[in-house]
Structure 1
Amino acid sequence: MSDAEQALPATSHTATRIMRGGRVAACPIDDGLLLVIGASGPAAGQLPAEINDDAATVTNAYVTAWRLASPSPSVTHGFAALLPTDDADRPLTTLRLGQEGRRYIFAPRTLAVREAVTILAELSGGQLTAVLDSLVDAMIQITAGRRRLAVIVALIQSRKGGDGFLEFVGETHEGSIFLRGWARAADPGNTQVIVCGENPVFADCAIATFSRQDIPKGAVGFIGLLAASEPFRARDVEGLVYRGGGGWRYAALHQSRQIAGPAETPAQIRSVLLQTHSSPAVLLKLRSAANSFEGRETISTLPVPVRLGVDNIFQANSGAFLISGWLLDPDGHVQSVRLRRGSTDMRLDDRWTRLERSDVTDAFSDEPLFKSMLDQDTHPHGFIVFASGLGEDGMAPLHLELTLKDSRRAFLPLTPARLPPRRAVLRQIKSIDPENWGLAEIVDRQIVPFLCASESPSPTAGNILDAGAFDDAPGPPIIVAVGQTEERELAPFLGLLALDPETRQAPIALVLNSECFRRQAARIRQLAQFYRLSLRLMSSETDDVYDLLEAGIRALPSETVVLLAGSLLPRRSGWYGNLLAAYEEKGGVISPTLAYEDHSVRWAGTWADPQSGSLSGRYAGYPLSAVTGLKLTRIAAASFECCILPREVFLTAGGFAGSYLGSQQKGQDLGLRLSRIGIESWWLPSVQMLGSDEISAPDGASAAPLIERIDEKLFSARWAPGPESRDNRMVEASA
């Protein structure tokens, strides 16, 4: 090698060697693609290629070629080949290319992208733009990852001179990115672009152009709406690679650009939209974006007789919604009503249940827009609807989108109340007339699906206060759940526990609603100390007795626990020891007989009918004397108002299902789940507890029939997806 050649920069030296023919240089694009630069005859297109004389590496390469400025008899053209490979990092020695298998020697060092572009510029001269465009076209046809996209961007940016600037980048609530700027070669219509940034992405771009006097001659103003397969933010956009007139172009982000949020972007689109031209489809997209949600209510400004209101919207932890409100549309202008969050939405008007709302008719009967249109005899304006599947993106605002038949849209922002599903339903059914003609559909299509789709957090204990030597007391702890209805009877209840020698010595965990705890803690502590009970007082943010029991179970480390609803009173002393003895003999879950205060049987086991698969009780209404002498009996499900069971088994089964509104199905549901995992349930007839029908009465007695109906539907939905499987589980449980 001459001294002159040694003095050349690495790229010039490589280019000189390539010009001689027989030499190629490789630039790894990513792990699956090589860019190979060389010189040969005029061959181009799809050509077979083989690396390192290894037949296993044969593949098809995409080759673009150009005539050299100073050709020789044997080397007339330069070429750039895109070569798919399963290992771009392998040592490269030889390349065979084309049908004739011309053999080349690889340069010992691979090139960086910048070096490869410099060599291409030296070899192609004024043809560089066409060469780069051809390579980019080929690379885009191959599935591209982020690294390959970054190389494409680098190739386009390597050319001298800019093709335009992005002056405004804004977001919409629907997930689109709006661009405004100018470019020398932007064409109106739909096109695929690469959004440049730290992580470049492919996106579809709807482009419209317009005339501007403040830009270079020959350039045009443009606006564009980006829709990518993966989300990104306006602040991530650093430029745009697009296919314009004459090839691929790059528009950089202007140093004085403006980045806007969803509240400002629609107005920016509207300010320029009327000046633009493009295809009808593109203009329709841009008009829709210009009319997108801006964070404010716009339904009340509609010039047509349409109004919409929401009375309640509840959101469970799982993202399920229960919405009630009204839509007044006497002239039939509304095409659809959707619940939207960001780029996700769900149509509501094709799934909601309509209700009579005479109050809505009365409220608008004097309004000029509605006065002559409202029928005073029918009022089907109300609705209740369950919705889910929008995700839990806390950054995107939740709103209703109302679309009219003339394509206009209006919006209503929503702020859901985040409540446990049980509490949400109890609050909702307060507003439902029990005589409403649509009640059955409301329960079946809205309430029950909402409860089924919701996830209830496990109840937990809050404040804990010891009023005796709880940790030193012998035996399994008795967890007593006291709801608001039993709060007044605490003194005699504690007195009965103190009169029984067994329970006076046992550890007692008294779990109350947090408000009851605040009012009663000091008094209960005094009573416990007076009676010398080993008492631990706990609070929980619930008034459901089963949830109070579960909070106590989760707060204690004991292997075995005894559950007792505060509405029950032991008929005789010794019940605690008898339950414990039966448990030591049989294990599983063991419950006593539950009776009314007139000593008639209320509950004496839950049994499964092998024929129908339904669950039912026996001996209800019988005198206690009819069952007292019976032996310990296996049943389908125990009563968790009073029972003894292993704590770990309760936790493994998942605890009580929080979505039930009442008590009966809530206990049966857990009983069947315990049976499904092989835990037996037993009834101990010789032990009796006295109490009323309901251990909890949520929302008062007037709602009891509706609550019972909802729980029955919910229980059936959970346990009867297939009749045969349900029957088998129940038969096994009662075997």
Structure 2
Amino acid sequence: MKDRSTKADVTAAVLLDEDTLMLFGAIDQPLPADSVVMLDGMIDGRFRGGCWTDAAGERWFLGAIRVTGLAHMRPSRIEIEDAQGKHLLLPRLSNVRTNPAHLVAALREVQPQSLDTALDVAVTLLSGPAMGEGEAGEGHRRTRLLSGLAHEASRPDGFAEVLGRFHDGALMVQGWSHGFPAGAAHVLVEADDLRTHASAAGSFHRPDLPDDAAGLLTVLEGPVASPDTIRRIHFRAADGWRHLAIFEHRQLLADGVASAHARDMLGHLQGDAARRGVAAAIAARYNGVETVSQLQAPVRMGLDMAVRVPGAGLFVCGWLLDPTGSVRAVTVKGGGMSARLDQDWSRLGRKDVSDAFAHDPLFAGRLAPGSDAHGFTAFAREPAGISADAEFHLELALADGIAFLPLPCQPPTGDALRRMLGAVNPDSPSIDRVVATHLGPMLRTATSFQAVPSSVLHPMGRTQKSPRVSVILPVCDGREDVDLNLARMANDPDFAEAEILVVAGAGTHERLAGMVRQAAGFYRLAVGFVAAPTASDPFEAVAASLPHARADRVLLLSPSVLPTERGWLSALERAIRKPNAVGSAALAPVMVSPTLLYEDHSVRFAGIVAVEGPGGTVTYERRYAGYPRDWLKEQEASAVDAASADCALLPRELLARAMADGGRYLAQEPKGLDLCLRVRAAGGSCLWLPKVRLVAVDEQARHARDPRLERMSALVDEWSFAERWKASIAA
């Protein structure tokens, strides 16, 4: 494509962020408002620009070039494609700055009479989605550029005297001005940053003002900066940019007062169109009151639960009864967030809702038999920066108005998250996307804030000053029969110098402590009873008890694992002291596990190995699971990709490092494999001892399980494991 010959002079070039370059200069031909930009002949990004002609007839332009990684490039040719597909060649840039004041100074010096127009163009260029914010420091450069231009171009024109925020972050401003535009317009609010906001404004008579000034009432769409941080409100008047200064003794209305105050002022506004615009803007504001039940249209809504994970998003479950299709949109708002729910929600049958409104006169004859899909589950991702205590509400947009429903959100407790999972349909055709986009990130974020469960140590039995090994026996169910485990250890000389930490997690029987105390005294064992009532599974119990472990080595031992002979702990210790047995693990700390058998002596655990499939996919599989034990031919320790957390000996320091960044899983099985992989990531290795064999009892769950919840938990865990390890777990 042949270039169009252009004469251009780039007066100033400023890099606003890693990807955005702002240009100011003169050119002899029009530039496109939005087009592609080519660097050295390659189509790399977008160009957005604006031109004006000064009094001398010379054409000037402001333009923004956005190309990924632009800050690290030194292109020799910058070409812009015009409407005819021809390329406009800009001169090579020789002096690119990072200080926006350079561009502002150039405009002030070269085009002082065009500063208003330059600010018009800059606002258009820097407020569009194609030129979105960069990093915090880079966004500050944008603010400095707009602020610098606004301070050069904008002139004083009145004061803002009363300011009040609505619940949704919008702002009411009352004051006076000479030229603030009535009706709909856009303004620049200058606070810690400078942002564009839509406004609806009307004027009213004030006898204390000159004839060419009037009172002002305007509503600015939110979220707007806090009123006490606002310094100026810039607006485009007929003769250029002007601003409202903030009156020194301005009044800041208390939260929730802005709506009532603005309604009281409506009757004083001049002009029917302006009055209607401000009234509509006020009506669209949420004031903390539920209004869905007041609708005369056949529309009602109810909430079953709402859970918010700060930093991730919200889950909303409820029902919407709308037989005539009056609702055009359902949006969650609050704290600066606005997200449509109805475009992506899952509908559920709710016959109970149909039955409840069957005899309501408002819905009489409108509920079709069998049409009961009134329920919904929905997710909304939240942007960064929303405060942890933000309040939210639902906004229902109808053809003739807006209604609101408060959205009280539960914190992401374990019970709330389980209820959330139980409400989602695992058979939905979009469940994979729901897990990857919403459930997985929400649960990962929620668990990342969970602290290690608190614990209290109660010494029982005899005292062991320098234990050779710390045995951690986690109990997180209703069992009270760990005296059998203690009896087996008391009968094995290997445990004579061990300390045994029985960890009582959530759901433990109230008689457990008494039984452990009695067994510890009877068998003369050194036992520590660790009370950790918030530990919901064995892995949380281990984490809670680890600070109480005094030995250099820790034995993780499930209460379901029972030895069939004595001396097995010594075999594990010999293997952990002889890493040379597995060659490549010569100097690595070792996590070693024995063979675990079912009660019928078939294989339960003989090491977990990674199997590579088509396309490089990796799956972790349990070797020989379910096979007769005679299949185990190995006689020496062998390296595996994962040991078994049900019975494993490893250095305490290695275990502490591996558990410092615990896996975010709902079920136990992926937690065990994840722990082993983190042991290896921390520099350790995993061994399996074929000759050492213990029985792992296949116990039944002591509490009823929700099959739907278990299916959802498995789907989320599969996603979490694949996200972390780029692999899957064999079924």
- SS in structure 2 of the partner of residue 609 of structure 1: strand
Structure 1 segment 269-668 matched on structure 2, within 5 A: 269-273=262-266, 276=269, 287-316=280-309, 318-391=311-384, 392-420=386-414, 423-429=415-421, 439-441=427-429, 443-446=431-434, 449-453=438-442, 454-455=444-445, 456=447, 457-467=450-460, 472-486=465-479, 488-513=480-505, 516=508, 520-521=512-513, 523-540=515-532, 541-553=534-546, 556=549, 559-586=552-579, 587-611=589-613, 613-624=618-629, 627=632, 630-654=635-659, 659-668=664-673
* Counterpart residue identity of residue 398, structure 2: L
CA distance in 2, matches of 1:239, 1:141: 20
Q: Hey, what's the Cα distance between the residues in 2 that align with 1:648 and 1:321? A: 38
Cα displacement string for residues 318-365 of structure 1 (whole angstroms, at most 9, x for unaligned residues): 534333222221211122222222221222222222222222222222
TM-aligned CA distance change 1:426 to 1:139, over 3 Å: closer
Stretch of structure 1 that moved more, 268-277 or 209-218? 268-277
**DSSP 3-state at the match of 2:202:** strand
The structure-2 alpha-carbon separation of the partners of 1:98 and 1:593, relative to structure 1 and needing over 3 Å to count, comes to closer
Deviates more, 1:363-372 or 1:445-454: 445-454
Equivalent residue letter for 1:356:
G
Measure how far apart 1:549 and its partner are: 1.9
3-state SS of paired residue (2:535):
coil
Equivalent-residue separation in structure 2 for 1:365 and 1:289 (angstroms):
35
1:286: how far off? 6.4
Q: Distance between the aligned counterparts of 2:377 and 2:656, measured in 1?
A: 35
Could you say which residue in structure 2 is the equivalent of 1:5? none
Deviation at 1:496, TM superposition (A): 2.3
1:152-210 Cα deviation digits (max 9, x unpaired): 779989x8xxx54434211123333220222233332555656577x584644625223
Deviation by residue 1:600-643 (Cα, 9 ceiling, x = unmatched): 32222223334464333333334445548743232232211111
Q: How far, CA to CA, are the matches of 2:475 and 2:99 in structure 1? A: 69
Q: C-alpha distance in 2, partners of 1:292/1:693? A: 59
- Structure 1 contact 473–534 (Cα < 8 Å) conserved: no
Deviation at 1:563, TM superposition (A): 0.7
**1:11-22 aligned within 5 A:** none
Relative distance call for 1:441 and 1:653 in structure 2 (3 A) is farther
Say whether the 8 Å CA contact 2:100–2:145 is kept in structure 1.
Answer: no
Shift of 1:443: 5.0
| CA distance 1:469–1:227, change in 2 (3 Å) | farther
SS of residue paired to 1:689: strand
How many equivalent residue pairs? 598
Q: Per the alignment, do residues 329 and 471 of structure 1 end up closer, same or farther by CA in structure 2, a change over 3 Å counting?
A: farther
Contact 1:602 1:693 in 2 (8 A): no
Q: Structure 1-normalised TM-score?
A: 0.69
Secondary structure of the 2:259 match is helix
Residues 76-105 of structure 1: per-residue CA shift (max 9 Å, x gap): xxxxxxxx999999xxxxxxx999xxxxxx
- 1:490 CA drift (Å): 2.5
1:206 aligned onto 2:194: no
Q: Which residue, out of 691, 695, 706, partners 2:696?
A: 691
Q: Which amino acid letter does the alignment assign opposite residue 459 of structure 2?
A: D
Name 2:163's counterpart in structure 1: 169
Residue identity matched to 1:363: A
Contact 2:520 2:527 in 1 (8 A): yes
Deviation at 1:233, TM superposition (A): 0.9
- CA deviations on 1:525-578 (whole Å, 9 max, x unpaired) are 343244322222223312212221232235546543211122322222222222
Shift of the 302–505 alpha-carbon distance from structure 1 to 2, 3 Å rule, reads same
Evaluate the alpha carbon distance shift between residue 200 and residue 684 of structure 1 in structure 2; reply closer, same or farther with a 3 A threshold.
Answer: closer
Alignment partners' CA distance in 1, 2:100 and 2:359: 77
- Which is higher, the Rg of structure 1 or of structure 2? 1
Q: 1:681 to 1:706 in 2, by over 3 A?
A: farther
1:140–1:316 distance in 2 versus 1, CA, 3 Å: closer
- Equivalent of 2:686 in 681, 690, 700: 681
When residues 236 and 461 of structure 1 are mapped into structure 2, their CA distance, relative to the original with a 3 A threshold, is closer
* TM-score after normalising by structure 2: 0.70
- Quick one: which of 219, 236, 243 aligns to 2:213? 219
- CA-to-partner distance for each residue in 1:119-166, whole Å, 9 max, x for gaps? xxxxxxxxxxxx999888889988886699599779989x8xxx5443
Between 659-668 and 620-629, the greater mean CA deviation after superposition: 620-629
Aligned AA for 2:181? D
For 2:724 and 2:474, locate their aligned partners in 1 and report how far apart those are by CA, in whole Å. 35
- In structure 2, the CA distance between the partners of 1:583 and 1:417, relative to structure 1 (3 Å rule), is same
The aligned counterpart of 2:712 is: 710
User: Where do 5+ consecutive residues of structure 2 fail to align?
Assistant: 1-54, 59-95, 102-107, 123-140, 580-588
Distance 2:684 2:193 in 1: 56
Contact 2:153 2:241 survives alignment (8 Å) = no
Decide whether aligned partners of structure 1 residues 152 and 621 sit closer, same or farther in structure 2, where only a CA change above 3 A counts.
Answer: closer
RMSD of aligned residue pairs (Cα, Å): 4.5
**Residue identity matched to 2:676:** G
Q: 1:564 to 1:263 in 2, by over 3 A?
A: same
What letter is aligned with 1:337?
V
Deviations 1:437-467 (A, max 9, x none): x634485344564134423125333222222
CA distance in structure 2 between the partners assigned to 1:645 and 1:280 by the alignment: 77
Q: How far apart are 1:479 and its partner, in Å?
A: 1.2
Distance 1:593 1:427 in 2: 37
- Listed one character per residue, the Cα deviations across residues 633-687 of structure 1 (whole Å, up to 9, x for unaligned) are 3223221111122344444445685543322222223334445566432222222
Q: Answer whether contact 1:208 1:283 (CA < 8 A) is retained.
A: no
Retained in 2: the 8 A contact 1:571–1:689?
A: yes
Distance 1:651 1:144 in 2: 46
Q: What's the secondary structure of 1:208's corresponding residue? A: strand
Which of 709-718 and 342-351 deviates more? 709-718
Matched residues in 1 for 2:611 and 2:189: separation?
A: 65
Query: Aligned in 2, Cα 1:150/1:177: closer, same or farther, shift over 3 Å?
Result: farther
- 1:143-292 superposed matches below 5 A: 164-189=158-183, 195=189, 201=194, 203-204=196-197, 206-212=199-205, 214-216=207-209, 217-226=211-220, 232-237=225-230, 240=233, 242=235, 244=237, 251-253=244-246, 257-273=250-266, 276=269, 287-292=280-285
CA contact (8 A) 1:560 1:645 kept: yes
Structure 1 vs Structure 2: percent identity of aligned residues?
29
Structure 2: which amino acid aligns with 1:668?
L
Aligned to 2:65: none
Query: Which deviates the most, 567-576 or 355-364?
Result: 567-576
Give the 3 Å change call, closer, same or farther, for CA 279–469 of structure 1 in structure 2. farther
